Structure 1
Amino acid sequence: MSKQKKKTIVIGGGAAGLELVTRLGRDKHDEVVLVEPSSHHFWKPRLHEIAAGTFDEELDAVSYLKHALCNKYRYLQGRMTGVDRAAKTLEVKTAEGRLVTEHYDRLVIAVGAVSNDFKTPGVASHCMFLDSAEQAHNVWQRINPLLRAQGEHRISIVGAGATGVELVAELAKVSQKLSRYNTGSELQITLIEAADRVLPMSPECMSEKVQSMLEKQGIRVLTNTRIQQAKSGALITAKGEVIESDVQVWAAGIKCADWLTQLDGLETNRIHQLKVLPTLQSTLDENIFVIGDSAECPQPDGGFVPPRAQAANQAATHLAKQFKRQRKGKDLQPFVFNDGGMLVALGHDYAVGAVMNDRVVLRGRQVRKLYDTIFRLHQQVLFGWGRVTRLMVLKRIKCLMNPYYNGRA
C-alpha cells in the first residue's frame, strides 16, 4: 500500500455508511473497509414495507459483497466488539465467529439507532421491533398467517412517529387489497401514541391530515396514551386499559446500542449517542468520526442534528468531501444540516409532506412520487442513474404483471 494511502474503516452499512464507502471506494485514494453484520442492505425508511410484505427484495435490496466488488472497497461481515484508540485498532467478530483485529487510520461509526422501550416492563419480551431488516422480516412472519386465517385479528403499534404511521397505513392497504380474495380475515389495527397527536415532531396541520387519513382507513388511533406494561397478547396503559393484540410492535422513541458507551472512553449522552464536534470528529479522538443517528452533532443554532434519514445522507456526503480536503492538507469544515422537510408515506399511492420550513403541507399521489424519488436518489449514489433507470423500468413491469399483495410465505 502506498505511503500516502490511509485506511478508513466504516462501521455500519446503513444509508450513511454505505453511501460513504461508495464515495470513498470510487475515489481510490484510500483503502476502505466496511464492517457490517448483515449480508444485504435495506433502506431503513422502507422497513415498514418489509413488515407488511410489500417490499420488493429482488430489486431493492443490495448485496454488500457484490456492491463492494463493484465499488472498490472491502466488505467484512461481522460486528465490532471493541476499539483500542492508542493502537488505532478495532476488534471484529466475523460471521464465522472468528475474532480479527483491523488497523485503521480513520474510523467512522455509522451504526444508527434503535427503538427505545424506556425500560417499560414486558416490552423487550412481548413486543416486536422494527430496527433492522431481520426484525422487519420477523414481524411479517407473524402478520402473514393472520392475513390468511379467517376471523378478526388485532395488531397494535406503539409509537406514532414516521415508522409507526407508515406501518399502520401499509398494513391497512394490504388488508384492504387482500379482502378482494374473500379469505374471511379482518385486521383491527391500533396506533398508540403517548403525545397528544400523531407525528408529534411535525407541524400540527400535518398531524391532523395524517390522523384523519388513518382513521378513514379504519385504523384506531389512540393519543395521550402511555403504555405502562406489555404482556403476552396485551398492552396495559397507564390508565389501566387493556389493549389485546395478536401482534404488538414497539416503534416509540430512539436510543443507540449500549456497546457505544464502552468504546475506550468516548463520550456519550443519555441515549448513548456518541458526542462529536461540528466536524463530526468524536470529542476525544480526532481520528474517530460519527455520522447518522448515532452522533450527537451540535448545530449553529444551539440544537443538534435530528435523527433523520436525510441528515444521515447529508453527513455521508459531507464527510466524503472533508476527507478530500484533509488529503490536501486543508482544515475540516463543520457539518450543517439542511432540513429538506418531512415526508410520510400512507400506503403505496399516497403521502403527506411538510416543506419550506414546515410552512407548506402537501399530500397526494404526487407527494408519494416525491417520497419514492428520495429512495431513488439514495440508489443513484450506490449505482448511478443508468442502473436506477433500469430498476425503475423493471419494477414498473412487475407491478403491471403481479397483484399488489404478493402473499409470500
Structure 2
Amino acid sequence: MHKPKQILIVGGGVAGLELATQLSHAFRHNHKAAITLVDRDSGHIWKPMLHTIAAGTRDVYQQQTSFVAHAKEHGFTYWPGEMEALDRIGHEIRLKPLYMRDGRLLLEARALPYDVLIMSVGSQANDFGTPGVHEYCHFIDDRLQADAFNQEVRALLFKAYAEGTELHLAIVGGGATGVELAAELVQMEETLASYASGEHASTRLKLTLIDSGPRLLGAFPESVSAAAKAQLQKLGVEIRSGARVAAAEAGGVRLKDGTHIAAAMTVWAAGVKAPDFMRDLGGLETTHGNQLVVRPTLQTTLDDAVFALGDCAALTPAGAERPLPPSAQIAYQQATYLIRNLPGWLDGKPLPPFHNIDMGALVTLGRYNAFGSLGKLGIFKNDFTYRGYLAQLSHIFLYRSHQARLHGFWRGSLLWLIDRINAWVRPAVRLD
C-alpha cells in the first residue's frame, strides 16, 4: 500500500495556515500526502490585524481561528510546539518542551518526521542589538504579545483616568506597524475616554512615534508618507523622524543624540528579522536577518526537501538587487504557488519558478483614514495612490478574502456578518 508523504508545515500564519488548509483539500481523496501543521500558539490571527488586537479595537477571541478545530474540519494534523532544531539527515525537526502558563511541564521535547518540510514561521521585530529592548519594550509580533500589550495599556489608562494623570507611550518604528498602531491607540483612547468620563477627545494618552528614517512609511510613495504624518499629527501624535534609539530604559528611551523620551510603555516595532532559532538552521544558507535563502522554486539552496516562504524566506528575483520584501501579499502569493505546484512535484513534475506580482501596499489609520499604493500593477507604472474609503474597503476585502480561503465563501460570509452584528451590539473597544 502506498505510504503517504509527510508534509510538515512549521508556522500557522497567513501563508502556513492557508497552505495546510488547501493542501489537505488537494490530497483528501488520493491520500498521497498527509499534512501536519506546527505552531507554538493555539490560534491564528491575520498578522496585518495584530495592531488592532494590541489596541483593543478588535476582539482577539472573535478574530482568531483555533488550530485544533480548523485542523479537524479540514483534514490535517496540528501539533502545538516551538521548533528549535532541524536534522536534515534524519528528516526530522525537534520541538522544545511545552509548558503550561503556570510553569508545569506539559510535553517533553519531541521530534517530528517529514518527507517535505515547509518553513513558514514569519518574522519579528529586529532590535538591532539595541541595549534594553527586550527588558523594557513590548512587542506585538504575534497574538499573545498583542493581547498582553492590550491588557497592560488598558490598565495604565484606567489608572490615568482615576488619578487625572497622563500616560506617555512611545512607539519605535515608523513603518506600517508603528503608524497603524499609533492611529488605533488614539481611536482606542477616544472610545475609552468617552466611557470613563464622557469626554470624546484624546486627553490622557500621549503618543510619540520615533523613526530612524527621514520620513514615515519609507516603503510607500512620499505623498502617502506626508499625508499619514499630517493625519497622525492632527490626532496629537508627536513624530520624531531621523531619530535613532541608542537604548531602551525603564522610563522610556534614550536617543543617539542623548535626548531622553519619557514613556511609561515603549513598543518596539522597528526592523524585521526571522526568528533567532533559524540562524544557521540545519546548516542551511541564511541571511543576516535569519531568513532561509531560497531558489525561485522556494526550495532552500542546499536541500530540495526543505521549502521556505513568506517573511522567513529570502528570494531575490532575477535581475533584482534585493530580496522580496517581507509582506503578507508576498506570503500569500508564495503559498498559492505551492498549493498549485507541490502536488505535481510529488508526482515527479518539475517546479516552475515563482513570479511575484507587485500589488502595491495598504496602510490604515484606524477609522480616520487609509492609504493605498498600486505599485507597478497593470497600467499603473508610477505608484498610483489612493486614500479614504476606497483604501479602507481594499483592506477589508483583503481580510475577508483570507477568511474565505480558510473557511470557504459561505462560512467566511457568516463570519463577516457576525462581525457586523457584534459591532452594533458590543462596545467599540475591549473593556474586559
- TM-score computed with the length of structure 2 as normaliser: 0.91
Is the Cα–Cα contact under 8 Å of residues 292 and 312 in structure 2 kept in the other structure? yes
Which residue of structure 1 lines up, in the alignment, with residue 108 of structure 2? 98
Q: Does 1:34 align with 2:58?
A: no
The answer for the alignment partner of 1:354 in structure 2 is 373
* 1:4, distance to aligned residue in structure 2 (A): 5.7
Alignment of 1:222-371 (within 5 A): 222-302=240-320, 303-348=322-367, 350-357=369-376, 359-371=383-395
Match of 2:194 in 1: 180
Work out whether residues 278 and 290 of structure 2, in 8 Å CA contact, stay in contact via their aligned partners in 1. yes
- 1:31 Cα deviation from its structure 2 partner: 0.4
Which residue does 1:402 correspond to in 2?
426
Distance 1:376 1:131 in 2: 21
Q: Structure 2 stretches of 5 or more lacking a match?
A: 99-105, 377-381
Show CA shifts across 1:2-38 (max 9, x none).
Answer: 5262110001111111010001111124100001111
CA distance in 2, matches of 1:205, 1:79: 41
1:153 maps to a residue whose letter is L
d(CA) in 1 for partners of 2:209, 2:371: 18
Q: Do structure 1's residue 144 and structure 2's residue 154 form an aligned pair? A: yes
Question: Corresponding residue for 2:101?
Answer: none
| Structure 1 residue 336: Cα displacement | 1.5
Stretch deviating more after TM superposition (97-106 or 185-194): 97-106
Equivalent position amino acid for 2:205 in 1: L
SS in 2 for 1:268: coil
Q: Is the 8 A contact 1:77 1:94 kept in 2?
A: no
> What is aligned with 1:133?
143
Go from structure 1 to structure 2 and tell me whether the alpha carbon gap of 1:156 and 1:108 turns closer, same or farther (over 3 Å shift). same
Q: Find the aligned partners of 1:234 and 1:258 in 2 and give their Cα distance.
A: 26
Give the aligned partner of residue 168 of structure 1: 182
Q: Mean alpha-carbon deviation: is it higher for 184-193 or for 239-248?
A: 184-193
Are residue 154 (structure 1) and residue 171 (structure 2) matched?
no
Query: In 2, Cα distance between the equivalents of 1:282 and 1:350?
Result: 40
TM-superposed CA distance for 1:139, in Å, is 1.0
Cα distance, 1:164 vs structure 2: 0.3
Alignment of 1:44-55 (within 5 A): 44-55=47-58
Q: Which amino acid aligns with 2:39?
A: E
2:227 matches 1:209: yes
Instruction: Find the aligned partners of 2:7 and 2:179 in 1 and give their Cα distance.
Output: 37
Deviation at 1:385, TM superposition (A): 0.8
Amino acid at match of 1:332: L
The match for 2:64 is 61
Residue 81 (structure 1) shift? 2.4
Aligned AA for 1:389? S
1:129 aligned counterpart, secondary structure:
coil
Q: Secondary structure at the match of 1:128?
A: coil
Deviates more, 1:79-88 or 1:230-239: 79-88
CA displacement 1:141-177 (0-9 Å, x = unmatched) = 2210232222211010000101000100000111122
Distance in 1 separating the partners of 2:393 and 2:368:
8
Distance 1:59 1:181, change over 3 A: closer
Q: Distance in 2 between matches of 1:146 and 1:366?
A: 35
Give secondary structure in 2 for the equivalent of 1:207: helix
Conserved? CA contact 1:349–1:368, under 8 Å: no
Aligned mates of 2:76, 2:331 — CA distance in 1: 20
Over the matched positions of the two proteins, sequence identity in percent amounts to 36
Q: CA offset at residue 179 of structure 1? A: 2.6
Please list the CA deviations of residues 97-153 of structure 1 after superposition, one character each: whole Å capped at 9, or x if unmatched: 322222211000111111111111111111111111111112112210232222211
Name structure 1 gaps, 5 residues minimum: none
Shift of 1:356: 4.1
Aligned partners of 1:133 and 1:9: how far apart in 2?
22
Q: Does residue 372 in structure 1 map to residue 387 in structure 2?
A: no
1:381 and 2:405 aligned: yes
Pairwise CA distance, 1:94: 5.3
Change (3 A) 1:73 1:349: farther
**Counterpart amino acid of residue 369 in structure 2:** Y
SS at match of 1:205: helix
TM score, norm. by length of structure 1 = 0.96
Q: Within 1, Cα distance between the matches of 2:20 and 2:243?
A: 42
Aligned residues: 407
TM-superposed deviation, 1:339: 1.3
Whether the 8 Å contact between 1:59 and 1:391 is mirrored in structure 2 is: no
> 1:112 and 2:122 equivalent?
yes
Moved more, 157-166 or 230-239: 230-239
Q: Output the CA distance in 2 between the equivalents of 1:255 and 1:327.
A: 31
CA RMSD of aligned residues (A): 1.5
Q: Tell me the distance in 2 between the aligned counterparts of 1:179 and 1:264.
A: 51
